[in-house]
A and B are shown apart, each in its own frame.
Chain A
Amino acid sequence: MPARLEITLKPNLFDAEGAAICRKANDYFGFDLESVRTVSILTIDIDLTADQLELIRTEIFTNPVTRISSYKPLAIDFDSVLWVGYRPGVRDNPGSTATEAVEDLLRIRLKPHEAIYTSKRYCLKGGNLSFDDAGRIARELLANDIIQQYKVFSKKDWHPETGIGIIIPKVRLDHKPTVTVIPIHSDEALMRVSKERDLALNPNDVSTIRAYFLREDVLAERRAFGLSAPTDVELEYISQARSDHCNHNTFKGLFRYRDLATGKTEIVNDLFETCIEAPTLAVQKQKPWVISVLWDNAGVGRLNDDYHYVITGETHNSPSNMEAYGGAITGIVGVYRDPMGTGKGSRLIMGMYGYCAGPRDYQGGLKPHLHPKRLLDGVIEGVRDGGNKSGIPTPFGQVWFHEGYLGKCLVFVTAIGLMPSQIKGEAAEKKTTSPNDLIVMCGGRVGKDGIHGVTAASESFSADTPAGHVQIGDPYTQKKMHDFLLEARDHGLIAFITDNGGGGLSSSIGESARFSNGCVVELEKVPLKYEGLDQWEIWVSESQERMTVAIKPEHEEQFMALSKKHAVESTIIGHYTDSGKLRITYDGRTCAYVDIDLLSSQFPQWTFEAEWTPPEMRGLFEPVLAGPDDASGLLLDLFSRPNICSKEWIIRQYDHEVQGTSVIKPLVGKDRDVISDAVVIRPVLESPEGLAAAQALLPTYSQIDTYHMAACTIDEAVRRVVAVGGDPDRIGGVDNFCWPTIQYDPIDNPDGKYKAAQLVRANRALRDVCTVYEIPLLSGKDSMYIDGHLKGRYGETHKVSALPTLQFSCTSVISDITRCVTMDSKFAGDLVYVLGETRNELGASEYYEHFGYVGLRVPELRLESSMKLYRALSRAIQEDLVASCHGIYRGGLGVHLALVAMGGGLGMDIDLSLVPRVEVEENHVILYSETPGRFIVTVDPKHRLAFESIMDGFPHACVGTVSSGLDLVINGLEDEPVIQVPVSELKAAWKQPFGQLI
């Protein structure tokens, strides 16, 4: 007989969770609730005696100081009650930890059908809410019906004895696992099956697949194992591996690029090879610190003689768009498995985030699945729990608001790990599988969750996108596995390791078996969450928190003992061979038998038509705009714009100190509340080396030209790490492309050719900048299909495409952390320098956007001169000549001078006529042009000569001083007063939009 335990805070205690719901209900819907009391519910579906139930109630689940609990519904006053619980099969993390504790305390083992399920009850008071209003809070604030179910009770439907009832969300699959053979008598027949089964096969691949399975020699080999036409296990495997998500077909495609201005057509063959791989390999030849790139789950760079760092970046857009919290936590926890699965494994030392969403206060007519406010809140919380509970600092991040992301939001997650350079005398970054090595699956179990996630990420969002791929990451299970695998690594037990992400076992085993050239997998050995999964589902399920490890047979005992000590489940599910074949069996019967190299050969290249229409031909022009009279008021208003203003509320939710490595924090300055250019950690506590990291996003420039969007984005990320003391010669990059669909279709994607050309141009910028700046791309990912189909005010449907977006991440090693600098001005009387030239480049600037303009003159990077300037600046920082250093980014000089002043809590006197510039003769252009390649530096007057001698030959000028006054004072080209405003007022304006959020 299941029992239901209700637990709540004592009535006199403040219910912070309830208060947060009141706040959000007001913020989202304008409801004026008096109070919300939250009740945690455990539905205990275990055969326990009354004494046992009482023991777990008092010993585990009820803190006597703060809580009350009862197996009967708690009597709490309410006007309406909401209940929210998980749907069957959704990961219930607290349910499983409750189970662990009950087993521990009672010294019992649960039977397979027994479990504990958690849910919540909310008791709402006040606000004169109707039944429908209450339902709206449940539906639009508390529950997401993709993963949760809810009930609403008014006073009259509530029975004090039965309460919410006994709800057991157990998965019941009355299904015998079955392998299905797929007929392939024609391309059409196979395409039909692909549609029915949601395989998302590319029509171009279908004939290649058929040709393989119809080959005489293949048929003969297969017959020996009782196989003929392909099984569903095989086709699912091929479909996963051929998906754009896993195979990067778009980047490896053939582009026919036509410039409509010149009429010239060029063939661009394989963007990956020409713009990413070739430049990176060339840089690697020059820079011995580049240890391992372009083949593993993440790239590896040298930190010092004894350690390497490991970095990669991912996106998790589609799942987050549907279930923000679940998608985001799964994203961050998932990207952390990449460094864990790089080389022989690394320890996670830092995470970073980037969110692109619709305006938080969006009130337009489009109806996204989740309102941007709710979506962003969920994403923020997902990354918070994923990062904090993993014990990994998340010190750097960024947010970009734009209506284009209403169709699909972007969630970038970046992970950095650390590995010793040697493990038992072997290079840590190397790994391989050999015949007879055992295939071990470690971590979580396999369920139906996450099936077809990869193929869904390769499609744009529509009403019938399967929801099954939304999951809830479990950082707790993964943290245990992380600790275990590191110990196993240090004992030399890991021959090969990779994560189970997109495509699940099919991808991790399929890829690792290429090293030994074959494998045999016994699918029935894979531990399941519940019975009834078909073989193909076990093979491609993306259930989280799993790694695939190859171990030598002689290490089995030691590996399994360590696994047990760490309370991690590990199971041997097969072995590697050199047969040239991937063979899968279930209870001894073969259900897949294909060539291991099938996927790396024979498939046709994707092709794209690309047409570039230059901005002038698209009708873009410079607005006719003269400078403002109230320049101070304008600056204050710019500071309150969503893409400029403070996002301290997000930063403080993320642990940026754990591991004790923090050197430069995300928030710096006198009051520790101004955003740093970059962060620095000391990855090895015993050593003085630092690792600087930062990211940049400038999607708005894509409105004019994606070449300059990409160039400026990369330059910003570079300047960010240089500004805190990063070494310009040891910068590593990670590119994350998010692009709308580029395949032309006259009806569905009429501007596809233009979007394809935008992609080519952005890649060329990537190639050009990385070549000149000598930046290896340590890692990178692309996520296409950033489009959504949204209902409008009248029920009509709009396709909404995001701006082509590149997030660029930079790392740099700092040999001595004590040389790092922050961006806040330090002392009155210090000289304020501007480095780099300002040009008339207001196109797509924050300033123009404020007035609703796009303009034409997009900021352009002067490649050759910029890096030389950065090297000089770096030398000045190394020689301790710089008191503060800050890049000039979005918003231009005016915004960033003010930020330096805000950081120092000191005034500043500036003369615009002194600012180094080219063809700019208007104050507002100097103040708000977003020309890249520039810095603001403050210098102790004592160091003037030394600093200027280093800067000799580079555009630089002392433009004013840090003052002891309270105001930012800026005089114009004619020495006329332009801006005078208290720094505190600027800071207040900057904090105002999100300042009340916690």
Chain B
Amino acid sequence: MVDYFHMTRSETQNRSVHVLVLTGYGLNCDYETAYAFELAGAVSTRVHINALISGETSLKDYDILVLDGGFSWGDDHGAGVLEAVRLKSNIGEAIFQFIGEGKLILGICNGFQALVNLGFLPGFDGDYRTRHVALTFNDCGNFRDDWVPLLGNPDSSCVFTKGVGRIELPIRHGEGKFYASAEVIKRLIDNGQAVFQYATRKGEPAQGQFPFNPNGSVHDIAGICDPTGRVFGLMPHPEAFNHWTNHPDWTRMKESMKRQGQSIHPELTAGVRILKNGVDYIRENRLAV
């Protein structure tokens, strides 16, 4: 916890960006998500869902709320469904307020599923309660782990994907098929809310082709944001690309660079870059003012 009382003025101005990563009830990406946000320059804390509900921890002390990946409630009755029920029934208002204050919410995989079940996404016209889209069972009929090429939408208002074009991230899910009616899909596209699309290795939209589109998502949609760009959900896992040796080709890339007389410089990975965009946004837009 930050001790504001003992901080000098300049420290307060330069205070850290605080990220809350949920834990408990079967969530399981909390360690690496917290770690990847630290790499992105934030101070992150793993907080049990019940600590938020009991008031032991207050959302007010945080700038970014992460609904991380996992199998909350065992994914029974639809992935993310019961997490959404728990959050909405107990701290729904606090989260609405969090969004209202201009802070950021990121939902990854199971967290994305929870966000759409909460109705926070797509959040058309500031309505954060109505479910318009769903993530349902993969068309391939099974859980699938693979690294997939993604195409970022340059026209999206999403604060996390600024400057993120073609990247690769791992997907690991059984219920990642993005589904919505044709009108909703059109609206998402028109609004620039379709943030990531599954793509071929050449960088073109996968157009439903398995395994590039691994789950049958409509319009190859892998992630969407709300109209403000501050609530973002995606099926792929940026936090699992926290080190260059996470990438499936790293031994090949290393060998290739070695022969060109270069070594791989451990710069920020694409996964951490996404998180850093969020951290930078807070720094620029909330801490600066």
Contacts and interface: CB of A to CB of B under 8 A. Distances in A.
Interface of A: 9, 13-14, 16-17, 19-20, 23, 40, 59-61, 63-66, 93-94, 97-98, 100-101, 104-105, 107, 384, 388-392, 474-476, 479-480, 483, 565-567, 651-665, 667-668, 670, 672, 682, 685-686, 817-818, 820-822, 824, 826-827, 880, 883, 940, 998
B144 A391 contact: no
A685 B240 contact: no
Nearest 4 CB-CB pairs, A to B? A391-B28, A660-B32, A476-B74, A94-B76
Contacts of B96: none
B170 A826 contact: no
Contacts of A19: 141
A415 to B, nearest CB: 15
B202 interface: no
Interface stretch (B10-18, B128-136, B153-161): B128-136
B137 interface: yes
Nearest to A904: B252
B151 to A, nearest CB: 19
B2 interface: no
Contacts of B146: 652
Contacts of B36: 660
B139 A565 contact: no
Contact of B246 (A101, A105, A663, A672): A663
A63 B78 contact: yes
Nearest to A59: B85
Contacts of A479: 26, 28, 71
B50 A565 contact: yes
A333 B43 CA distance: 33
Contacts of B25: 476, 480, 567
B131 A65 contact: yes
A660 B69 contact: no
A827 B257 CA distance: 12
Contacts of B86: 101, 104
Nearest to B169: A657
B78 A659 contact: no
The interface centre, meaning the residue of B117, B170, B216, B255 with most chain A CB atoms within 10 A of its CB, is B255
Contacts of B240: 657-658, 660, 662
19 contacts: A14-B216, A63-B117, A65-B132, A65-B134, A94-B76, A97-B76, A101-B77, A476-B26, A479-B71, A565-B54, A566-B48, A657-B145, A660-B29, A661-B32, A685-B35, A818-B245, A822-B252, A826-B256, A827-B255
B282 interface: no
A107 B89 CA distance: 9
Given A104-B90, A480-B26, A565-B51, A660 B144 contact: no
A67 B273 CA distance: 37
Contacts of A390: 28
A653 B143 contact: yes
Contacts of B82: 60, 97, 100-101
Given A104-B86, A656-B145, A13 B252 contact: no
Interface string B210-225: 0000001000000000
A389 B71 CA distance: 5
Contact of A686 (B35, B70, B74): B35
Interface string B59-82: 000000000011101111110011
B283 interface: no
A391 B132 CA distance: 29
Contact of B74 (A13, A475, A668, A820): A475
Given A100-B82, A661-B32, A384 B141 contact: no
Interface of B: 23-29, 31-32, 35-36, 48, 50-51, 54, 56, 69-71, 73-78, 81-82, 85-86, 89-90, 117, 131-134, 136-147, 170, 172, 179-181, 216, 237, 239-243, 245-246, 248-249, 251-252, 254-256, 258-259, 264
The interface centre, meaning the residue of A61, A63, A653, A656 with most chain B CB atoms within 10 A of its CB, is A63
Given A97-B82, A565-B48, A824-B251, 5 more contacts: A16-B140, A40-B77, A391-B71, A655-B143, A827-B256
B241 to A, nearest CB: 8
Given A14-B139, A66-B134, A998-B141, A60 B81 contact: yes
A567 B24 contact: yes
Contacts of A822: 251-252
Nearest to A824: B252
B77 A672 contact: no
Nearest to A942: B259
Nearest to A118: B76
A59 B129 CA distance: 11
A389 B255 CA distance: 36
Contacts of B256: 826-827
A408 to B, nearest CB: 27
The interface centre, meaning the residue of A14, A388, A658 with most chain B CB atoms within 10 A of its CB, is A658
Contacts of B139: 14, 16
B73 A659 contact: no
A658 B245 contact: no
B140 A940 contact: no
Contacts of A17: 137, 141
Contacts of A668: 248, 251
Nearest to B130: A64
A9 B137 CA distance: 10
Nearest to B69: A658
A567 to B, nearest CB: 7
Nearest to B258: A880
B73 A100 contact: yes
Nearest to A20: B141
B259 A66 contact: no
Given A384-B143, A567-B50, A820 B35 contact: no
A101 B85 contact: yes
Contacts of B246: 657, 660, 662-663
The interface centre, meaning the residue of A483, A817, A824 with most chain B CB atoms within 10 A of its CB, is A483
Nearest to B146: A652
A105 B71 contact: no
Given A656-B145, A685-B242, A818-B254, A389 B26 contact: yes
Given A94-B74, A97-B77, A657 B237 contact: yes
Contact of A105 (B85, B140, B241): B85
The interface centre, meaning the residue of B89, B142, B179 with most chain A CB atoms within 10 A of its CB, is B142
Contacts of B179: 13, 65-66
A652 B35 contact: no
A866 to B, nearest CB: 25
A658 B172 contact: yes
A479 B54 CA distance: 21
A655 B172 contact: yes
Contact of A93 (B76, B131, B132): B76
A672 B73 CA distance: 32
A97 B73 contact: yes
Given A63-B81, A391-B71, A660-B35, A105 B89 contact: yes
Contacts of A23: 141
B133 A65 contact: yes
Contacts of B264: 818
B50 A566 contact: yes
A672 B248 contact: yes
Contacts of B50: 565-567
B32 A101 contact: no
A16 B138 contact: yes
Nearest to A478: B26
A663 B35 CA distance: 16
A670 B51 CA distance: 46
Contacts of B255: 826-827, 883, 940
A682 B81 contact: no
Contacts of A391: 26-29, 70-71
Given A9-B136, A20-B141, A104-B85, A476 B73 contact: yes
Contacts of B117: 63
The interface centre, meaning the residue of A390, A652, A672, A940 with most chain B CB atoms within 10 A of its CB, is A652
A652 B145 contact: yes
A998 B146 CA distance: 12
